[in-house]
Amino acid sequence: MKPQLLKISLPSECSFSIRQDVVPHFYNRWHYHAEVELVHIQQGHGTQFVGDSIQRFAPGDVLLIGANLPHYWRCDAEYFASQSGLQAQATVVHFLPDFWGTALLDLPESRALSYLLEQARRGIRLHGPVRDAVRRLLARLLTATGVARLVLLLRILTLVAAEEVELLASSPHSAPGNEADTERINRIYAYSLAHFQQAVPLTDIAAVANLSVHSFCRYFKAHTRKSYSRFLLELRVRHACQLLHGGSLSIAQVCYESGFNQFSSFNKYFKQITGMAPLYYRQTVQRGAATI
- CB distance 188 to 209 below 8 Å: yes
Amino acid symbol at 162:
A
Sorted by where each starts, the structural domains of the chain and their CATH numbers stand as 4-167 (2.60.120.10), 196-286 (1.10.10.60)
| pLDDT (tens digit per residue) in 149-168 | 999 999 999 999 998 889 99
More confident residue, 21 or 175: 21
**Whole-model pTM?**
0.81
pLDDT of residue 290: 58
| pLDDT (tens digit per residue) in 8-23 | 666 667 889 999 999 9
| pLDDT (tens digit per residue) in 259-285 | 999 999 999 999 999 999 999 998 887
Question: pLDDT category, 95, cuts 50, 70, 90?
Answer: very high
Strand intervals (E) in the chain: 4-5, 17-23, 31-32, 36-43, 46-50, 53-57, 62-65, 71-75, 88-95, 124-125, 166-167
Quick one: what percent of the chain has pLDDT higher than 90?
60
